[in-house]
Every structure is written in C-alpha cells, then in structure tokens.
C-alpha cells in the first residue's frame, strides 16, 4: 500500500504538549495544529494493517513542506482533505484556507499556469500502460529549476512572506530550510557510519583534531549525506526534544527486553557511570544480538527519536526500544542510548563540532541558534578552506545565548575591567528570560533557550505593550520573579513554581528588563550598552561618579537587603551572546569567600559519580550532629570543590570508613536521619571517625528533603578539609540554626544620616539626568536614586571611612549591664539595628 493512498490529514487543538515534526518546537496546549496520519510500521499487527500514527506540525511548517514537495506527493488541496476542519475557529480556518490558496497558486505557476491535478486524478487520466519511469518524466528536474528561476525573477515567493510572519514559532534547534531532499540510502547517512565517526572523535584528545574529524567526513568528494541531520545528532544537547526516560529506567527496560535481572545491570552501571556502555557490554557478553551492522539511516534514527517523545508509559517505551534493539548492533544501540541521554560522550562541545563545519559556524551559532540556517549558509559559502565569515544576525523566534557574567572578587577588579564607566544593576534572584515580540505574538525562552512555562509569564502579554507602546517587534533580555505587593521586595528564587506561587498570593509576577537586543527589526547587539539603555523605557536609579566607595556601598546595601548581588557592565560594551564579559558580585565571591555562608559539616555518606567520575565516590552527603536526639542530620549534597587528585585521595581514605548500602532505605543505620530521596550508595560506618569539611555556599536555604530542621546550603562547594576538627568540634545542629538565623538578619550602620529606601523600592522619588550618569548606574525597573548617598555595612576599616563621623552621647554616669543581658562586644559603637540583637545584648548608650 503506497503512502500516497494512505496518507490523511487532520486538524485539532493541542491537548497536551507535543513537538512539531519539522521544526521540533513544542506545540503548547490549546494551539492549533495539523496532523499527517500515516501507517505506523513500527507496530507489528499480524491480524490486519498497521495502526495509524499521527505526526503533528505547525500549519506553516506542514505547508512549507508542501511548497517544496514533488508534484506526485499527496498534499492538502482543499479544506475537505482535513479531518476536523469544521471544528476549528473561524480565524484558524482562514489561515489554513489562505495557505491552501498559496500552495495552489505556487503549484499552478510551477506547471506553467495549467490547472494542477491531484496525483489521484492524474493517475486516472494517464494511460494504463504507462510505466513508473515514464510517469516520473512528467515532472523533469529542469522544469522545476526553470520555474524556480522564473519565480525569483518575478519576485514571487508566496511561502516566504508567510513564513517570515510566523518565524517567531520556529525552534532554535529545529530545522527549516534544507536544499533538496537528501538521499536516505547514501552510505554517509548510515547510522553505523555515524557511530564510527563518534568513536573517531572520542579517540582523539585535541579539540582541533575533533573538528578535523568532522571536516574530513563531510568534505569528501563523494559526500552526499544529510548534513543537517548529521550535525543535529552530533549535538544532542542542542536538541529540544524531551524523551521522558532516565538512566535507571533504561536499565529496567532492557532487563525486561532480554529477561535478565535489573540488579546486575544496575551494579554494572554504578561502576561504569555510563548506562549506554553498560547495556552494550551486557548484550555483547551474553551474545544477545545477532546484528553486526544495522541498516538504519540517521534519518530513520531521527524519526525513531521523534516517536519516542510521544511515549511516557513504561510499556510503550519498552516496545519502542525493543523494536530498535532487534535491528541495531550493540555499538549502534550504545550511541542510540547516548542520543537519548543527550550526551555522546565524545568530549566535543558545540564549538568543536561546528568548527568542523566552518571556521565561523560557531560564532554564527552564538547569534542564531537555527542549525538549519547555519548549515545552509555553510553550504552556499563552500566550506572547504574558504575564510569567508558566516554572517547570521539575531532574528525573531530564534533565541540567542544570553550574555553572562564572571565572578568579581573585588571592587578594584571591577574598576579595571570597566574602564569606560559602568552600569551597576541589581542581581535579582529570579529566572532569566528572553522575550520575543512580533506584533501581537510572543515567545519566551529560558537561559537554556527552552520555552518558559506558561504559568510563569502568562500575564506579561498585557504589560509589555504598555511598557513599549511603539515597539512592534522587539527582543528583550530580562529577569522574571515574584514581588511582594506590600513591600515591593523580590521574593526568593523558586517561588515562580505553581505550588510555591500559591503560598505567595499577595505577590505579582514582574519582568525586570535590563537589555534590549532588537527593536522594530533593528539589530542592536553591536550597539554600545549606553545606547541600548536609551531605547528602554525604564525607571532607574542613577549613581553619579565613578568611585570605589559608592560601588562598595551599593554592594553591601544589596546584600543587606537580601538581594543576590550586583551585575556590573561596561557602558560601551556590545551584546555578545554566550560571552562572560559582564561581572557579577555576590557575597560569596568577596574577600576570598570570607563573607559567604559556611559551615563545618561531617561526611555522612557518598554517591557514585557519573561520566568521567563513574565508579568512584564523587558526591558526598554532608550533615551535623544533633545532641538532643543523639543522631546525625543531613544538610546538603556536595560534589564541587575537589580536584581529580583530591577525589582519588578521598576515595582511598574513605574506602575502609564506609559501607555500601546501594541507596536502600532499610539499610540506613539508626543514628542517621535521612529522607528516602537522599539515601546514598555508601554510608560511613562510624560518624565519629568521619572527615569534617568546610562547606561554603551562596546562602543558607530551606529544603524539605534535608533533616537538619530543613536547613540546607545553596550552591555548596568544599573549600577546606578540616583535619583539625572532628565530630565534636564540627558545626552542630544548634550552631547551624544560629548560623541560619544570623545569615537572614539584616544589619545596618547606624549613621547620623542614612537612606532607608531599599534598592528594590517601588516608588521613584527622584530621577536624575541619564547623560550625567555616564560613569556608574544602578538599575532596576522599580528603584530609587537616593541610594547614591546610602552606606553599606561596616565590614572593614576601609568601608568604615565611607560614613560620616558619629557623635557619641555624653554619659553623665557609668551605666550597668542589666540582669539577663550580655554586653555587646561593640559597646556604644555597635552598628547593628536589628531588634532581636538589641533585645539580646546590652549597649551602654541604650535608653
């Protein structure tokens, strides 16, 4: 049965998130979609024909395929060809009817103005004796080329104009243009050859050699492979598809497929840290595969992966994996699983793969995340030894990598970097979002360039037009977070979640815009930051003068107010996607980390690592001793801060101090209080002999998973091995509670004059002149410029010089410390204003 006779089309509204077959962009719930209904040959049905399979598309994506299709390919000729068309909204019907009209016009033009016949009608009018070969001659290649050139001369491109309007919906990693249809039978499209190429890339250590391996593969004289699919599979991390399957699920699924114990596979996986190699070794060891070299193409693998995204139930996934396992060799199964895990383990990133395509391809990819566009440009530019630059600018609907900031450890470092003056912006602890607006259409992308969940940005479409009344098309770089309606204070990271937002009903989602990359179709990324700022409708605090003292004041003021820190930007800097040319200032970066939240914690357990650290203990469960319950409580998991040499030494030291329990909750010792989700692979035999490490983090936080009264550490890292401490002198639970409370307590200098307006204040009391603030700007959408006179904490003698002198009150007679209070060590000069502090400690000057 031919595809032509069995292919049907349907239209409906997305009931759950699904991916477009062509561009790979997710179709949100409620969005109109078209479906191509074809036989599902992946499912074997001995009792009848194979069941139907639906491939979903954006309407413009499906019709773009029709625009390029051969004359005998079945397409939508009228609305009658679409099942469910009558159930669509009127405006959606108009969109489809318009596409059908454009398609009919284009096809009629290609055939020299004659009325287009459907494949079915053409077959009826043709001679019965006509052979397939003679039928193929009815649409010669040169005719298509001739009509194409004629169309270009006449300036007619009905599909292009339409596609530019809806380009906002195209995926960064998805495909768009690709000249011609690659020959799937080409030897260069063999998935076996792809696996061999990956082996070659992994076998060389130099990154230049890895790029050279890719270049050699695609530069051969007879290369006729599908370059776009090849590059996309070599970069699985860029792929936006979601497979709903994890390592342990794969172990269980293959144990079911081959009828073996999952425990044996799981043990092997823990030792290797590579689930794909575990499965391959298991298949080869037990001679479970009869295939030495599969015949699947990379296109077929790509389609198989597409289908995998539709399955979430174990039974469906097992059936799908079993279908592939019977047709692929162990080597090919290994790389198929690595594609699912989105890590080919060839130690080659996006830069190294794309440089094999073209020396400037990676630079272009920074600006335009559309692989299809970049591959097409490289093809047109003849990539073999031609030093021409691949120029791809930012465009609507295709997110660019966000510009980043590197840690700044001192004010002096900031002054040296930002020689042209700087903008000092509040570093909000929210979620980075890139906003694309094309007329009344909006798209929102996260830092990882994935679509932002709808509930986080649902109401912004009403606010953005008010903020930019003249902005028809624009791309914004911003931060989205919850703000307390009563105080105007930003709420902590993570409160944007559906369940968390319910706890903060008296709060609003706010978009803090700090940069603009495109405005009314003008690319602004090469413009200086100061010019980009002028295009923003913003309310900002201006800090005049470029001096160390003012910057220090801002830093400490931001930290005191519970904000994450500051971001410093050179006023003349251009926007460079993915580059760390900004500076970020946080308290755990300052003074060599001495201002960070730290605790001396006990190593209570350990977890197997993954990847290069597979088979060794590389992540550790840290905790404290609770003297009240005579038990040990968990605080955090920590896997950062150790070098490879340190890890080797730690593993040797812990080898005789730990016992393996394989994440079994029932095997936990009675002295350890640990939640089920955190049970480690190893637990220390005697916590009194366990090592003590100094753990440093951005801040103390609350966690439902940890048992030390829910106290945890955000972004933990090991900063010191405390050989001078043991379980008695390490941080105890009671001490940890005090550290947590102190870290959340705001401290202010008791100046004779001070600015009480916080950096996040809602009202703008005074607006300075933007032109005069050329040296230093403190930005927020909701801020007050009186911060220019505010002072930070008296952290050291240098910062203390920023304050005006204080006048001490005259004492008529010596004061005595009242009973029940402890004298404050700062005495009358104490700078702390916190009420709890004043209630606990006695100050001579108190009245």
Nearest to 195 by CA among 287, 291, 260, 282: 291
Burial class (CB in 10 A: 0-12, 13-18, 19+), 285: exposed
Listed in order, strand segments (DSSP E) in 627-721 are 631-638, 658-660, 672-673, 682-684, 692-697, 699-702, 711-714, 717-721
In Å, how far are 103, 157, 228, 298 from 98, measured between CA atoms?
9, 14, 30, 35
Listed in order, strand segments (DSSP E) in 26-132 are 26-27, 32-39, 52-57, 82-83
Q: How many CB atoms lie within 10 A of CB 521?
A: 11
Nearest to 27 by CA among 579, 451, 480, 456: 451
Q: Is-contact 764 784, C-beta < 8 A?
A: yes
Q: Is-contact 424 777, C-beta < 8 A?
A: yes
The pair of structure tokens assigned to 414 is 């900031």
Report the distance separating Cα 93 and Cα 566, nearest Å.
50
Q: What angle do the packed helices 298-308 and 330-341 form, to 10 degrees?
A: 50
Report the distance separating Cα 370 and Cα 717, nearest Å.
36
Radius of gyration of the chain (CA): 32
Q: Is-contact 822 841, C-beta < 8 A?
A: yes
Nearest to 240 by CA among 295, 305, 286, 297: 305
Report the distance separating Cα 381 and Cα 794, nearest Å.
60
107: phi then psi, degrees, rounded to nearest 5: -70, -40
Report the distance separating Cα 202 and Cα 505, nearest Å.
51
Q: Is-contact 402 581, C-beta < 8 A?
A: no
Sorted by sequence, the CB contacts under 8 Å of residue 817 that are 6+ apart come out as: 823, 842
DSSP character at residue 656: T
Coil, strand or helix: which one is 450?
coil
Q: Counting every residue, how long is the chain?
A: 847
DSSP 577-607: TT-EEEEEE-TTTGGGGTTSEEEEEEEEEEE
Q: Is-contact 696 600, C-beta < 8 A?
A: no
Report the distance separating Cα 446 and Cα 453, nearest Å.
9
Listed in order, strand segments (DSSP E) in 639-759 are 658-660, 672-673, 682-684, 692-697, 699-702, 711-714, 717-721
- For strands 565-570 and 541-542, give the pairing: unpaired
Report the distance separating Cα 463 and Cα 519, nearest Å.
17
| Sign of the torsion formed by the C-alpha atoms of 236, 238, 242 and 248 | positive
In Å, how far are 662, 695, 727 from 713, measured between CA atoms?
25, 8, 19
Report the distance separating Cα 488 and Cα 259, nearest Å.
60
| 762 counts as catalytic | no
Residue entry with tokens 């300075």: 768
Q: Which among 74, 116, 210, 427 is annotated as catalytic? A: 427
What positions carry a catalytic annotation? 427
């Amino acid at each position: 049965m031919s595809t032509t006779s069995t292919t049907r089309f349907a239209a409906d509204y997305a009931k759950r998130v699904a991916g477009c077959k062509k561009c790979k962009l997710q179709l949100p719930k409620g969005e109109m979609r078209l479906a191509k209904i074809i036989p599902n040959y992946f499912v074997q049905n001995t009792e009848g024909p194979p069941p139907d399979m639906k491939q979903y598309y954006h309407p413009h994506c499906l019709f773009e395929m029709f625009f390029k299709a051969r004359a005998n390919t079945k397409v939508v000729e009228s609305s009658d060809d679409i099942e469910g068309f009558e159930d669509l909204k009127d405006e959606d019907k108009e969109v489809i009817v318009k596409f059908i009209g454009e398609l009919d016009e284009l096809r009629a033009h290609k055939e020299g103005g004659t009325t287009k016949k459907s494949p079915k009608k053409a077959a009826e009018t043709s001679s019965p004796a006509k052979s397939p070969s003679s039928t193929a001659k009815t649409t010669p290649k040169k005719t298509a080329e001739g009509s194409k050139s004629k169309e270009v001369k006449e300036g007619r491109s009905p599909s292009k104009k339409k596609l530019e309007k809806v380009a906002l919906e195209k995926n960064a990693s998805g495909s768009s243009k690709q000249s011609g249809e690659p020959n799937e039978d080409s030897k260069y499209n063999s998935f076996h050859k792809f696996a061999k190429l990956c082996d070659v890339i992994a076998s060389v250590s130099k990154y230049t050699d890895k790029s050279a391996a890719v270049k050699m593969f695609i530069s051969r004289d007879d290369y006729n492979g599908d370059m776009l699919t090849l590059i996309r599979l070599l970069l699985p991390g860029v792929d936006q598809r979601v497979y709903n399957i994890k390592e342990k699920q794969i172990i269980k699924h293959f144990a079911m497929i081959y009828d073996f114990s999952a425990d044996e596979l799981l043990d092997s996986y823990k030792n290797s840290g590579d689930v794909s190699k575990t499965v391959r070794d298991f298949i080869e060891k037990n001679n479970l595969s009869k295939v030495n070299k599969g015949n699947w193409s990379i296109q077929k693998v790509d389609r198989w992966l597409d289908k995998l995204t539709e399955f979430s139930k174990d039974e469906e996934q097992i059936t799908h994996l079993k279908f592939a396992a019977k047709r692929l060799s162990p080597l090919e199964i290994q790389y198929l699983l690595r594609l699912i895990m989105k890590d080919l383990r060839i130690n080659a990133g996006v830069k190294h793969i794309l440089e094999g395509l073209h020396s400037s391809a990676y630079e272009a990819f920074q600006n335009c995340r559309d692989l299809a566009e970049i591959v097409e440009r490289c093809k047109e530019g003849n990539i073999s030894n031609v030093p021409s630059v691949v120029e791809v600018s930012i465009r609507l609907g295709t997110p660019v990598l966000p510009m980043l900031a590197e840690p700044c450890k001192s004010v002096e470092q900031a002054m040296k970097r930002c020689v042209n003056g700087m903008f000092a912006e509040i570093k909000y602890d929210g979620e980075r979002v890139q906003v694309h607006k094309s007329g009344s259409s909006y798209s929102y992308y996260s830092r990882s360039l994935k679509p932002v969940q709808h509930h986080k940005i649902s109401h912004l479409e009403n606010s953005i037009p008010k903020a930019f009344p003249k902005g028809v098309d624009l791309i914004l770089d911003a931060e989205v977070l919850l703000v307390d309606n009563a105080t105007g204070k930003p709420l902590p990271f993570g409160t944007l979640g559906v369940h968390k937002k319910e706890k903060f009903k008296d709060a609003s989602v706010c978009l803090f815009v700090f940069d603009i990359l495109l405005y009314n179709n003008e690319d602004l990324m090469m413009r200086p930051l100061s010019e980009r700022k002028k295009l923003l409708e913003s309310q900002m605090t201006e800090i005049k003068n470029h001096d160390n003292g003012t910057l220090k004041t801002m830093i400490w003021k931001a930290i005191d107010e519970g904000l994450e820190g500051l971001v410093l930007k050179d006023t003349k800097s251009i926007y460079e996607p993915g580059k760390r040319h900004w500076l970020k200032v946080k308290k755990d970066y300052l003074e060599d980390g001495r201002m960070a939240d730290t605790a001396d914690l006990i190593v209570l357990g350990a977890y197997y690592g993954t990847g290069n650290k597979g088979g060794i203990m590389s992540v550790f469960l840290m905790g404290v001793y609770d003297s009240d319950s005579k038990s040990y409580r968990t605080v955090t998991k920590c896997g950062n801060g150790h070098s490879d040499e340190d890890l080797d030494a730690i593993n040797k030291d812990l080898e005789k101090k730990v016992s393996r329990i394989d994440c079994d909750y029932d095997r936990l010792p009675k002295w350890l209080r640990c939640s089920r989700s955190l049970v480690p692979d190893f637990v220390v035999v005697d916590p009194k002999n366990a090592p003590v490490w100094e753990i440093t983090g951005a801040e103390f936080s609350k966690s439902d998973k940890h048992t030390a009264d829910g106290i945890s550490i955000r972004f933990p890292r090991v900063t010191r091995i405390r050989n001078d401490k043991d379980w008695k002198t390490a941080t105890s639970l009671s001490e940890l509670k005090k550290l947590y409370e102190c870290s959340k307590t705001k401290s202010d200098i008791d100046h004779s004059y001070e600015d009480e307006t916080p950096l996040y204040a809602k009202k703008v009391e005074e607006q300075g002149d933007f032109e005069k603030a050329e040296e230093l700007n403190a930005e927020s959408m909701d801020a007050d410029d009186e911060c220019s006179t505010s002072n930070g904490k008296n952290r050291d003698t240098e910062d203390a010089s920023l304050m005006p002198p204080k006048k001490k009150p005259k004492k008529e007679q010596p004061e005595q410390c009242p009973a029940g209070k402890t004298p404050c060590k700062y005495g009358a000069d104490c700078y702390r204003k916190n009420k709890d502090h004043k209630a606990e400690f006695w100050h001579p000057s108190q009245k």
